Structures are given as C-alpha cells and as structure tokens.
C-alpha cells in the first residue's frame, strides 16, 4: 500500500525496549472468511479471552464452530514457505533519480506434505471467497493485524489471488499440495501484531481442521429408525475411510414434512462395520422426509463436519 506521510507530526520515534518479541517462521495458516454474516470482520475480540489467555475452549469454539461462515480453517503444517514483498513501485526520471509510489505486493506460498486431491479440492473452494488469514509461527504465536481497538483481526487477501495445486511425487520426492496467495494492497505490514505464545494455553501449534463426513448409504429405514454408513472423503473410491466415534450429541434430525425437530432416542455405531450407525427415533409417519445434520449448537467436538442427508420414511 502507499504509506501516507505524516507531515504535521514529524517522524516516528526509533527507540526500542531492551527485550521484545518478534515473529518466528510461519508453520501454519488459519484461513477464515474475512467478514462474518453480520458484516463485521471475523476477528478475535480480545475481551472475549479468559483473563487475556487464548485457551483451549476458545480455540475449539473457533475451529469446531458449527457455523462455517465464522469458523477457523487451519492448514496442515507448511514447508518451504516464502512470505516476501516485491520491490517498491517507484517512478524514475531522466536524471536517474526516483520517487516512491507504493510498496510492492506481499506474496505467500507454502507446501503441504502428503497433500492429496481431496485436500486440494477443499483448498480450491476458497478461491472465489473474500479471505482473511492468521499465521501460526514456530514459537506458537498467533499473528494477525491490529487496526481496530480491542481486536486482533485476520489479514485480508487480494481478491482471487488464492491458488492451490497438486504436485505429484517422484522417485525422490513426496506428493504435495501447494498453496499461494497475495496480501491485499489495503494492508500495511506496520499493523501486524500477535498474541504471544506465552498468552496461549491452547494447543495452537499443530491444530487440525475439521474432516468432511458424508452419508454413503442409508438403509433399513422404518418409521422408528434407520442405518447409515458415514465416511470421510479420504481413501480409495471403493475403500473410503469411515467416520468413527460419533454419537447422539453429534447429530440433529429435523422432520421437514412437519417442520419439527425429532428428538433422537439413540445413535449406536456398529462393533463390526466401522462408520455404520443405527439411529432409533420416535415413530414418524410414512412419507415423512427427515433431514440429518450437524447439531444446532457447537462446537463439533469430534472434529467431523457432517454434510446433511435426507431419509425418506417408507
């Protein structure tokens, strides 16, 4: 961005304390939709941190948020990171002197080791969104920007600059996903700030995002229950990795015909077939349409994000 000259106040002071923190090398990025549904920036309200500490409860509430619009989406660990500004844009005159016009663009790139097409597809979904990003560095600091009093906000990315691609492995290299983006020209590096690792009690470094879950088969449907096979998107086309360990609290069933929530009696995972769940429900009416989703209230404690599916009562 072009940095405005403060002609009326003079230059800034250049002294520094004897000991102060600096950013370390980036290890992960946290992608967010820059604006929440209410139009406000999807930042961290510092007053909402317990005693000024970013604890596990707060982190889980953001990463496992049932609302995908306000959720945090941490990447896996990133390798071979570049995070640099290009040279300043200047105007040069015939006498070879030049004047500053604006800073060059800041670009970021990194590699996800053992990246795969499933993760690539999820990364590509970000391309057309208005994206913000926080960075997690090696020291466990959480880096964002401070342009509003009382908030650490995500850094805005340039529209449609986000790119992801698959790099296939070779005889000497692992398969990878690459991602890259450009920081918005509206941002100023002088506004970068962090919540220090010493003020973070949560397991921030290495935090994982949610895993997509879909219903691959719904069977044995009666007026009082049904079976469903729940799988992740990972694995072979005939050997998907099942979504294991879910329970009653991980679902909501809504009767779309009567516009009412169905209070599920029980959800039990098979001891024989991983990811196969039996739902027991109060008796419904033939021809009713049930919609099964994540619970209405988060966090999604199992780190599994269920795509809604429909059950038609025979």
pLDDT of residue 289: 98
Burial of residue 59 (CB within 10 Å: 0-12, 13-18, 19+) is buried
pLDDT(3) > 60: no
pLDDT of residue 190: 93
pLDDT of residue 67: 96
pTM, full prediction: 0.90
Q: Tokens 């800041």 belong to which residue?
A: 106
Q: Mean pLDDT over all residues of the chain? A: 95
CATH architecture of 211-312: Sandwich (2.60)
Domain boundaries, the chain: 26-92+102-199, 211-312
CB 96 within 8 A of CB 78: no
pLDDT of residue 104: 78
Q: pLDDT per residue over 205-261, tens digit each?
A: 999 999 999 999 999 999 999 999 999 999 999 999 999 999 999 999 999 999 999
pLDDT of residue 60: 98
Least confident of 93-102, 164-173, 287-296: 93-102
Burial 246-276 (b: 16+ CB within 10 A, else e): beeebbbbbbeeeeeebebeebebeeeeebb
pLDDT of residue 4: 61
Least confident of 103-107, 123-127, 129-133, 290-294: 103-107
pLDDT(6) > 80: no
Q: pLDDT per residue over 58-97, tens digit each?
A: 999 999 999 999 999 999 999 999 999 988 888 889 999 9
pLDDT(1) > 70: no
Could you tell me which residue, 266 or 101, shows the higher pLDDT?
266
Across 269-289, average pLDDT:
98
For residue 121 the two structure tokens come to 């597809």
pLDDT(127) > 90: yes
Confidence category of residue 192, pLDDT binned at 50, 70, 90: very high
Could you tell me which residue, 18 or 109, shows the higher pLDDT?
109
pLDDT of residue 101: 83
CA 140 to chain centre: 17
pLDDT(2) > 60: no
CB 205 within 8 A of CB 140: yes
Across 128-150, average pLDDT:
97
Q: Percent of the chain scored above 90 by pLDDT?
A: 87
Burial 115-154 (b: 16+ CB within 10 A, else e): beeebbeebeebeebebbbbbbbebbbbbbbebeeebbbb
Confidence category of residue 116, pLDDT binned at 50, 70, 90: very high
């Amino acid at each position: 961005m072009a940095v405005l000259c403060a002609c009326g106040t003079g230059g800034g002071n250049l002294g520094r304390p004897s000991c102060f923190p600096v950013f370390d090398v980036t290890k992960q990025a946290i992608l967010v939709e820059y604006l929440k549904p209410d139009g406000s920036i999807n930042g961290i309200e510092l007053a909402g941190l317990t005693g000024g500490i970013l604890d596990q409860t707060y982190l889980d509430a953001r990463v496992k948020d049932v609302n995908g619009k306000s959720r945090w989406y941490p990447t896996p660990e990133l390798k071979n990171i570049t995070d640099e500004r290009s040279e300043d844009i200047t105007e040069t005159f015939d006498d070879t002197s030049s004047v500053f016009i604006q800073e060059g663009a800041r670009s970021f790139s990194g590699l996800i080791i053992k990246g795969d097409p499933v993760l690539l597809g999820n990364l590509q979904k970000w391309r057309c969104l208005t994206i913000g990003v926080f960075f997690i560095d090696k020291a466990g600091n959480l880096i964002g920007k401070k342009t509003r009093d009382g908030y650490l906000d995500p850094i805005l990315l340039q529209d449609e600059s986000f790119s992801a691609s698959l790099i296939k492995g070779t005889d000497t290299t692992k398969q990878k996903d690459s991602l890259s983006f450009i920081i918005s020209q509206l941002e100023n590096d002088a506004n970068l700030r962090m919540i220090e690792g010493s003020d973070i009690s949560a397991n921030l470094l290495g935090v994982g995002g949610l895993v997509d879950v879909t219903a691959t088969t719904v069977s044995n449907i009666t007026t009082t229950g049904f079976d469903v096979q729940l799988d992740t998107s990972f694995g072979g086309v005939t050997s998907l990795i099942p979504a294991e360990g879910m329970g009653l609290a991980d679902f909501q069933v809504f009767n779309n015909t009567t516009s009412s929530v169905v209070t599920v009696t029980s959800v039990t995972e098979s001891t024989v077939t991983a990811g196969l769940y039996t739902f027991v429900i109060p008796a419904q009416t033939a021809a009713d349409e049930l919609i099964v989703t994540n619970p209405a209230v988060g966090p999604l404690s199992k780190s599994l994000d269920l795509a809604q599916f429909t059950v038609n009562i025979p």
